[in-house]
Chain A
Amino acid sequence: MSDKVLQVEDLKVYYPVRQGLMGRVQYVKAVDGVTLDVKKGEVLGIVGESGCGKSTLGKAVCRLIGTSGGRILLNGRNITDIPEKELRPYRKQIQMIFQDPYASLYPRMTVHDIIAEPMIIHKMYSSAQEIDAKVVELLNEVGMDAYHAQRYPHEFSGGQRQRIGIARALATEPDLIIADEPVSALDVSIQSQVLNLLSKLMRERNLTMIFIAHDLAVVEHISNRVVVMYLGKVVETGERDELYRSPLHPYSKALLDAHPIPDPDARKERTLLEGTIPSALNPPPGCKFHTRCKHCSPICSQVEPQPRLIEGSHTVSCHLFDNVGEPA
């Protein structure tokens, strides 16, 4: 039995779009052949700019949206084609934390009901007393008090709401948590509180998590391993330290270079990335990044680079490394 909680193999998620009334159907390839795995007890960070497919990937793994190809294996079991009706036991194993704590909590349910609902649905406890006790325990664990249970979401600040969202995600004791931009809607001082809470929970509960974010510093802080995505593709993956210290893909380098450093003495001339991310409806052929890459050579616009293993688990998909390492 492997220690991999999640394996994603060549996953594709295409959204159909019709241009005009009679236009033909085209596909936005939001996720286009992504392969990754998550080991037990690890935090896998996924970074990329808007439109790179990171949120779609998170939702597809939860089976919140349909897939167009590839497989999702949860604890070794293929859940890609399980019909909706039989999904419930797997839903218990994967839970999600959302970006906007103002939109993700139902306003007419008390905090108690929000946190208790998953436990009731999955018939985890036999008596109401047990559930009440568990709700209080979860609230305490995320740094809130028992009396908060009887209140409604609107009575809380953004940071507190995100804590409630985390408590709800923990309620089913999931094997995998998918956190989609969990701190990007929060103020700086509150962001660090929630990040520390997540770190504490990871340690104490040995949680496994996919952490999706656009902020490189936040991802570096919380993740063990990092995946960089661009236009629906994984361009680079590696251990956190390896990837941040020696990024290989020109896009990863550009992302790190563009991140503003909070130190006025570190001001520098940047190597600016030109242009914007191309439309996913009409992605460039070959390497998806070649239109913005300063190392672009003729092969880049013709042949799509395959991932190559450089060192340890550091993998990169770029023609610059065609003669380095081995195919991954």
Chain B
Amino acid sequence: MADYVLEVKNLHTYFFADTGTVPAVDGVDFVLERGHTLGIVGESGSGKSVTSLSVIGLLMGTTGRVTEGEILLDGEDITKYSEKQRRKLRGSKISMIFQEPMTSLNPVMKIGRQIREKILQHEKISRSDADKEVIRLLQMTGLPRVERIVNEYPFQLSGGQRQRVMIALALACKPEILIADEPTTALDVTIQAQILTLMEQLKKETGTSILFITHDFGVVAEVCDDVVVMYCGRIVEKGTVGDIFHKTAHPYTEGLLNSIPKIGVRAEELEVIPGNVPNPKYMPRGCKFSDRCKYCFDRCLEEEPGFADLGGGHFSRCWRSFPDFKEQEAE
């Protein structure tokens, strides 16, 4: 049996605003295999970030909460935990790296102290041992002149260096799961390549499993083992990275893959997905993607499809993916 470090079952995270309820995550199921990297891909508003915030439990202070479903960490449902218990998990078992390292580090606290603070919070070790651990972690991320960086402030570092500090901070206390929410989006390509390589190498060394949130299929192809594609709070397709790229089943995944320009591929026009992501208050009645889908037929407008099992863990939420679908039906 496969070893799952994280199982998310039927997760619903709703935001209760004065103007109405927004179902940001609306029934999401996925598993993260130990030592694997799972990519969650989608455009803005797809619910990918809210999914990750639900997993780590950082919805406090927003109007959002998990209304239904389970999040199993090593088989135990953490949605039932109290805030105090969740707080213990955060940082020690689940850590997170954010898109903008400058806004996630404390600007008036020295780098070394920020990391030490986290270690002392979760582990019973002496201050001097914690300081040694800080140096070790920073060295692991390939930062130069580490002994001086511990006494510097975040503004003294470049974007790539700050992201390395974030990674060191996240990997302190050896978390089982690292959530990386667009960790390289704010970085230049050459620095992105450095950070992706570093994450890959650290994953091998520490055995940490990674939940990688991104909108960039190039990055997904580079680092992920498994992929979940989200649209309007739902998963529309999931499978191994090979399934998603080479046996693409859902029209949304297909549209996204075809709409990105690729180096060395000449095309007069790019394929487009027409229209915009629908407003959550005016969702299409049947399949959520029906109003932008080029294959849409009558059934799609009336009834939302469930998952079609394509074998080997590859699922697609599309009527056309079911084995009993006949082309005539769509005519």
A residues apposed to B, CB below 8 Å: 49-50, 157, 159-160, 187-193, 195-196, 199, 214, 216-218, 220-221, 244-245, 254-267, 270, 272-273, 276-277
Bound CA span A218–B44, Å:
20
Among B158, B188, B217, B261, contact of A214 (Cβ-Cβ < 8 Å): B188
B273 touches A189 (CB 8 A): yes
Which residues on A sit within 8 Å (CB–CB) of B161?
276
A-B pairs under 8 A by CB, number: 121
**B222: nearest residue on chain A (CB-CB)?**
A260
Interface flag for B193 (CB, 8 Å): yes
Among B255, B260, B268, contact of A262 (Cβ-Cβ < 8 Å): B260
B263 touches A264 (CB 8 A): no
A189 touches B272 (CB 8 A): yes
Bound CA span A260–B219, Å:
6
Main secondary structure of the interface of A (DSSP, over half): helix
Min CB distance, A83 to chain B, in Å?
A: 38
Bound CA span A216–B158, Å:
22
Which residues on B sit within 8 Å (CB–CB) of A190?
276
Bound CA span A220–B263, Å:
7
**A274: nearest residue on chain B (CB-CB)?**
B194
**A49: nearest residue on chain B (CB-CB)?**
B188
B261 touches A199 (CB 8 A): no
Interface flag for B256 (CB, 8 Å): yes
Min CB distance, B289 to chain A, in Å?
A: 11
Bound CA span A149–B44, Å:
26
Among A220, A255, A262, contact of B245 (Cβ-Cβ < 8 Å): A262
Which residues on A sit within 8 Å (CB–CB) of B160?
276
Give the total of B residues in contact with A, Cβ under 8 Å.
46
Bound CA span A298–B241, Å:
45
A–B complex contacts, Cβ < 8 Å, 20 sampled: A49-B188, A50-B188, A187-B215, A188-B215, A188-B259, A189-B273, A191-B259, A192-B259, A192-B271, A192-B273, A214-B189, A216-B263, A217-B261, A257-B193, A259-B218, A260-B222, A262-B217, A262-B257, A264-B221, A272-B193
Among A189, A193, A218, contact of B256 (Cβ-Cβ < 8 Å): A189
- Interface positions of B from 106 to 160, Cβ below 8 Å from A: 158, 160
- Interface positions of B from 73 to 95, Cβ below 8 Å from A: none
Which residues on B sit within 8 Å (CB–CB) of A157?
276
- Identify 17 new A-B residue pairs, CB closer than 8 A, beyond the known A159-B276, A189-B259, A195-B270: A49-B188, A189-B272, A192-B261, A217-B260, A217-B261, A218-B261, A221-B270, A244-B263, A258-B190, A259-B218, A260-B218, A262-B217, A262-B218, A262-B220, A264-B241, A266-B221, A272-B194
Bound CA span A276–B189, Å:
11
Bound CA span A290–B217, Å:
32
Taken residue by residue from 230 to 251, chain B's Cβ proximity to chain A (1 for < 8 Å, 0 otherwise) reads as 0000000000011001100000
A264 touches B245 (CB 8 A): yes
**B161: nearest residue on chain A (CB-CB)?**
A276
B190 touches A273 (CB 8 A): yes
Min CB distance, B231 to chain A, in Å?
A: 10
**A260: nearest residue on chain B (CB-CB)?**
B218
Bound CA span A258–B191, Å:
8
Contacts A188-B215, A256-B263 given: A49-B190 contact, CB under 8 Å? yes
Among B192, B256, B264, B268, contact of A188 (Cβ-Cβ < 8 Å): B256
Min CB distance, A270 to chain B, in Å?
A: 6
Interface flag for B197 (CB, 8 Å): yes
Bound CA span A49–B219, Å:
18
Which residues on A sit within 8 Å (CB–CB) of B260?
188, 191-192, 217, 262
